Structure 1
Amino acid sequence: MKQAISALVLGLAAFTAHAGGLEALENFVKTAKSGRADFTQVVTAPAREGQTARSKTSSGTFEFSRPSRFRFEYRKPFQQTIVADGQTLWLHDVDLNQVTARRQDQVLGSTPAALIAAAPDLDSLRRDFSLEAAADRDGLQWVQATPKAREGQLNHVRIGFRGNELAVLEILDSFGQRSVMTFNQLQLNAPVAAGAFAFKPPQGADVVRQ
């Protein structure tokens, strides 16, 4: 009987801990209407036979204003800008002098950015993702989001929270490539200038509309 009670208590404790990740995500989506942070991103490709896996590190800044507007500014080692202005998703590769423009409503729904910056509420996320709590790890509470549309390249995303504060975004694609984005100096509900989400292709840039 004591073993059965212990198992029940431990099981309940585990459920409560796991549920914390979903609660943190819900609180974040509800309360974080805007914000900014620095980020570091490490992308690791799957190891080829006889070789070790190779990683690439980049860094930059992130700003958002919910719903549907955000900006990722990659600064090192290469400059790249990703802007969602509410209508169009812009990608500017400085080295290639190329801008790609896509209709935001067609491409944003099942992306990692929708999870942390664009979605207005948890119900809208559940339309595009299956959400489930994951085990606590590295002092963080985790949620796994798996896109319901399986034709894309995204396998799943894991979001790590420290309390109700966004800390880490882990992305695994269908090719086995893993991307880990760590956020630092996060400022929630800080004023963000509207101009941060305006984008105009630089003069002379090659613009590709999809």
Structure 2
Amino acid sequence: MNRFALALALAGTLAAPVALAPAAVAQQGDLAAVQTHLRAVESMTAAFTQTDRAGKTLTGTLTLKKPGKIRFQYEKGVPILIVGDGKAIWFLDYSVGQRSRWPIGDSPLGVLIDPNRDITRYAKVVPGSDPRVLSVEAYDPKRPEYGRITMIFERQPSAPAGLMLQGWVALDSQGNRTTIRLADQRFNAPVSDSTFRFNDPRRGARRS
């Protein structure tokens, strides 16, 4: 083979598309399925169990409605409430009359309640031993204030995009870890916007 023919052969080799490994193809498919699931879920209600990094466990009811609305209604006797009203996420402590606010984009929960997020750009599948379970970690290194969230799904054909969200582990920008486990999930039932209103815990403040 002369040099010209050899050069053409090498050019053809370099220009040929590189085949992805089967694992990479499967990961892309799984991420696409998670993205489809998140966009297909317009609302959700579920019972939740929350465990913090100290091991303290609380239970309650979760209500979600896109875009940007979420409510963690804790069990009776727990004087706290977490509400996303579409613009911000509020942490309300009625025992001390205080409230804290931060933008939805600064919370790991933004992945769940912002339908415009494209997680395929910054998420990865976490390898596991059970093929029925899919774990996906979402973390945007350009936006560390978003924190990090690992969502756990179970493959169920009847669920949106064939995936049932079983819970997640969230790590905020301050390093606080919270584990949420879900049960009795129900998707896309009507949810009133009034669900995401709350009483301001500060004395004399107006209802939000």
Report SS of the residue matched to 1:30: helix
Alignment pair present for 1:161 and 2:153: yes
Query: One-letter code of the match for 1:157?
Result: I
SS in 2 for 1:112: coil
Superposed, 1:87-106 pairs within 5 Å as 87-102=87-102
Q: Distance in 2 between matches of 1:167 and 1:16?
A: 24
> 1:180 & 1:76 partners in 2: Cα distance?
20
Q: What pairs up with 1:62-73 in 2 under 5 angstroms?
A: 62-73=62-73
Alignment partner for residue 128 of structure 2, among 125, 136, 140? 136
TM-score (norm 2): 0.72
Aligned mates of 1:196, 1:16 — CA distance in 2: 41
Percent identical among aligned pairs is: 27
Q: Contact 1:42/1:58 (CA < 8 Å) preserved in 2?
A: yes
CA distance in 2 between counterparts of 1:175 and 1:76 reads: 28
Unmatched 5+ stretches in structure 2: 1-20, 156-162
- Give the number of the structure whose alpha-carbon radius of gyration is greater: 2
Q: SS state of the match for residue 23, structure 1?
A: helix
| CA offset digits 1:163-188 (Å, max 9, x no partner) | 21111201235666532111111100
Alignment partners' CA distance in 2, 1:56 and 1:141: 26
* Residue pair 2:107, 2:145 contacting (<8 A) in 1 also: no
Is residue 2:52 matched to residue 1:43? yes
Separation (CA, whole Å) in 1 of partners of 2:42 and 2:200: 27
Partner of 1:55: 55
Offset at residue 61 of structure 1 (A): 1.2
* Contact in 1 for aligned 2:107/2:146 (Cα 8 Å): no
Q: Is the 8 A contact 2:94 2:201 kept in 1?
A: no
**CA separation of 1:144/1:56 partners in 2, compared to 1, >3 Å: closer, same or farther?**
same
Q: 1:23 aligns with which of 32, 57, 82?
A: 32
Contact 1:38 1:183 in 2 (8 A): yes
Q: Which residue of 1 aligns with 2:180?
A: 181
- Over the residues paired in the alignment, what is the CA RMSD in angstroms? 2.8
TM-superposed CA distance for 1:137, in Å, is 5.0
Instruction: Please identify, of 185-194 and 138-147, the stretch whose mean Cα deviation from structure 2 is larger.
Output: 138-147
**CA displacement at 1:153 relative to structure 2:** 8.3
CA contact (8 A) 2:171 2:178 kept: yes
Q: Quickly say closer, same or farther: Cα 1:21–1:77, change in 2 above 3 A.
A: farther
Which of 99, 113, 116 pairs up with 2:109?
Answer: 113
Contact 1:42–1:56 under 8 Å retained in 2? yes
How many angstroms apart in 2 are the aligned matches of 1:88 and 1:177? 19
TM-score by length of 1: 0.71
Following the alignment from structure 2 to structure 1, what is the Cα–Cα distance between the partners of residues 129 and 183? 18
Residue 191 of structure 2 aligns to a residue whose secondary structure is: coil
